[in-house]
Amino acid sequence: MKFVKYLLSWISQNLSIPFWMVGHVHLTMNVYKDIYEIIASLGMNIIVGIGFYIDWLRHKKENNE
């Protein structure tokens, strides 16, 4: 479980900007007609969101807030 938390945190810190940049460029150039593209985009954003949340909880714990 600790590895999964670390992995999600790492992904959110290192891949969030590429996910969102590629996603926004892709959205402006394509129309989503394929369900697989929609699911992949949603999945990447969910992974990044979970990683941010885990990182925020760790930050909160370290600073005793």
H-helix or E-strand spanning residue 37: helix 35-62
| Tens-digit pLDDT profile for residues 18-51 | 776 766 666 666 665 677 777 777 787 788 888 8
Q: Which residue has the higher pLDDT, 14 or 20?
A: 14
Average pLDDT value for residue range 44-59: 84
**Confidence (pLDDT) at 27:** 62
Alpha carbon distance 19, 60 (integer Å): 26
pLDDT band for 2, please (50, 70, 90 cuts).
confident
**Confidence (pLDDT) at 54:** 87
Alpha carbon distance 49, 65 (integer Å): 21
Give the chain's count of helices (H) and strands (E). Answer: 2, 0
